[in-house]
């Protein structure tokens, strides 16, 4: 078994125009000062990374890695959540998701998708140059507007949607395979990969592609009342990235999972800082350790109530205290009887 690496922190939620959150060197120093050992890098902010240059230049990739290491940190993974979302967008969301793309391709869904696909391919090459083996992203969604079957969905709509999603992702998965990097889809509301069944549908469309892996984030399962512990039992062989994120679900007589269009603060299901929600992280870390999860435990901070800097400060020791240093011997070794093979045969009557 492996001891899970950590604590890491996803930098996306902390970037701003204010120091120390406005450039790579200062935000890494801030994270290291809180006790983090790794950083997951978003790839849409040029203050953090020039993704194309990292894909094309080993010199630049080495310099980027060196800047992070100078703060005493490692890069855990690169993230293309926003670009992955744009690989597959239902037209109803075109205007809203245009903000994820550069101005040159806004208002042009075909050009926007081509840009997103190229971004993913750059991420594969950049990850390889940085010595990374896992990559965090979203699947995008063609079917999300039809999640609830009313009005009734036309026959074949879901099948056609997943077939198209698979067609768009297969070349990307092949590009990551050529670079030796796993694509870790964050199973998430708003994505066509939002639970185990939808992930299995996608796997079938990409012919069980070995790089079509998972980013495990239990917070999204709390909000949809999915058994997030059994999920590990079922999919542990595909889990290659881990967001440590808390949530709570508090239904009442007025609202449940859908939340009545309310703000995050007032919803029955909402994200919380680590330790403030309902997720059983002791059980999660135990299961992931048991199944020999090979990667990092990375804080993704989101909370409807707490200040982000407080959440980050509390998050590092929270994760550190949940890491299980794996044993190098059986707990009952002290009672070993030293029986040899001849006695074994005698006991078995052979």
pLDDT, one tens digit per residue, over 166-223 is 999 999 999 999 999 999 999 999 999 999 999 999 999 999 999 999 999 999 999 9
pLDDT band at 342 (very low <50, low <70, confident <90, very high): confident
Instruction: Please determine, for residue 134, whether its predicted confidence score (pLDDT) is greater than 90.
Output: yes
Task: Write down the pLDDT at residue 341.
Answer: 85
Mean pLDDT confidence for 101-119: 98
Give me the helices (H) in 206-293, please. Answer: 219-222, 228-235, 281-290
pLDDT band at 339 (very low <50, low <70, confident <90, very high): confident
Mean pLDDT confidence for 33-48: 98
Tokens of 304: 């409807």
From CA 196, how far away is CA 180, in angstroms rounded? Answer: 25
Query: How many other C-beta atoms are found inside a 10 Å radius of the C-beta of residue 148?
Result: 8
C-alpha closest to that of 227 among 301, 272, 184, 287: 287
Task: Write down the pLDDT at residue 30.
Answer: 98
Instruction: Please determine, for residue 338, whether its predicted confidence score (pLDDT) is greater than 80.
Output: no
Mean pLDDT of the chain: 97
Task: Write down the pLDDT at residue 115.
Answer: 98
Task: Write down the pLDDT at residue 340.
Answer: 81
Percent of the chain with pLDDT strictly greater than 90: 93
From CA 287, how far away is CA 232, in angstroms rounded? Answer: 7
Q: Under DSSP, is residue 137 helix (H, G, I), strand (E, B) or coil?
A: strand
Mean pLDDT confidence for 308-329: 96
Tokens of 227: 């058994």
Task: Write down the pLDDT at residue 300.
Answer: 98
Task: Write down the pLDDT at residue 80.
Answer: 98
The C-alpha torsion from 172 through 178 and 184 to 188, rounded to 10°, is 10
Task: Write down the pLDDT at residue 289.
Answer: 98
Task: Write down the pLDDT at residue 328.
Answer: 86
Instruction: Please determine, for residue 292, whether its predicted confidence score (pLDDT) is greater than 80.
Output: yes
The model carries a pTM of 0.96
pLDDT, one tens digit per residue, over 232-263 is 999 999 999 999 999 999 999 999 999 999 99
pLDDT band at 332 (very low <50, low <70, confident <90, very high): confident
From CA 254, how far away is CA 327, in angstroms rounded? Answer: 48
Instruction: Please determine, for residue 337, whether its predicted confidence score (pLDDT) is greater than 90.
Output: no
Higher pLDDT, 327 or 70: 70
Task: Write down the pLDDT at residue 335.
Answer: 74
Q: Under DSSP, is residue 38 helix (H, G, I), strand (E, B) or coil?
A: strand
Task: Write down the pLDDT at residue 274.
Answer: 98
If phi > 0 it is left, if psi is from -120 to 50 it is alpha, else beta; for residue 263 that is beta
Task: Write down the pLDDT at residue 269.
Answer: 98
Instruction: Please determine, for residue 306, whether its predicted confidence score (pLDDT) is greater than 80.
Output: yes
From CA 102, how far away is CA 44, in angstroms rounded? Answer: 10
Task: Write down the pLDDT at residue 190.
Answer: 98
Instruction: Please determine, for residue 55, whether its predicted confidence score (pLDDT) is greater than 80.
Output: yes
Give Cβ neighbours of residue 223 (< 8 Å, ≥ 6 apart).
189, 247, 249, 257, 269, 270
Q: Which residue has the tokens 């990097």?
A: 181
Task: Write down the pLDDT at residue 330.
Answer: 83
Instruction: Please determine, for residue 334, whether its predicted confidence score (pLDDT) is greater than 90.
Output: no
Tokens of 85: 């979302």
Tokens of 213: 């892996």
pLDDT band at 333 (very low <50, low <70, confident <90, very high): confident
Q: Which residue has the tokens 């939002």?
A: 194
């Amino acid at each position: 078994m492996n001891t899970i690496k950590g604590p890491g922190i996803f930098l996306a939620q902390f970037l701003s125009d204010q120091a120390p959150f406005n450039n790579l060197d200062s935000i890494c120093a801030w994270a290291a000062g809180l006790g983090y050992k790794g950083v997951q890098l978003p790839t849409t902010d040029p203050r953090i990374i020039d993704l194309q240059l990292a894909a094309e230049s080993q010199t630049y990739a080495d310099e980027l890695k060196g800047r992070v290491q100078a703060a005493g940190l490692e890069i855990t993974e690169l993230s293309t959540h926003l670009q992955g979302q744009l690989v597959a967008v239902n037209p109803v969301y075109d205007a809203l998701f245009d903000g994820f793309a550069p101005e040159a391709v806004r208002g042009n869904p075909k050009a926007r998708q081509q840009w997103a696909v190229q971004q993913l391919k750059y991420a594969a090459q950049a990850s390889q140059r940085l010595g990374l083996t896992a990559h965090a992203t979203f699947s995008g969604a063609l079917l999300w507007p039809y999640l609830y079957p009313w009005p009734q969905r036309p026959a074949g709509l879901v099948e056609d949607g997943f077939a198209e999603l698979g067609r768009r992702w297969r070349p990307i998965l092949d590009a990551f395979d050529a670079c030796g990097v796993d694509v870790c889809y964050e199973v998430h509301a708003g994505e066509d990969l939002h639970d185990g069944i939808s992930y299995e549908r996608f796997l079938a469309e990409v012919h069980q592609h070995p790089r079509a892996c998972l980013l495990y984030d239990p917070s999204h399962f709390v909000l949809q009342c999915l058994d997030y512990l059994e999920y590990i039992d079922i999919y542990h062989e595909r889990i290659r990235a881990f967001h440590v994120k808390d949530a709570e679900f508090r239904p009442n007589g007025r609202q449940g999972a859908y939340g009545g269009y309310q703000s995050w603060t007032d919803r029955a299901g909402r994200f919380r800082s680590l330790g403030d929600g309902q997720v059983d992280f002791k059980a999660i870390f135990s299961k992931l350790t048991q199944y020999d999860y090979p990667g990092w435990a990375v804080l993704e901070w989101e909370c409807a109530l707490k200040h982000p800097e407080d959440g980050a400060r509390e998050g590092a020791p929270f994760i550190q205290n949940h890491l299980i240093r794996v044993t190098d011997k059986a707990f009952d070794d002290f009672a070993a009887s030293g029986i040899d093979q001849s006695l074994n045969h005698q006991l078995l009557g052979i």
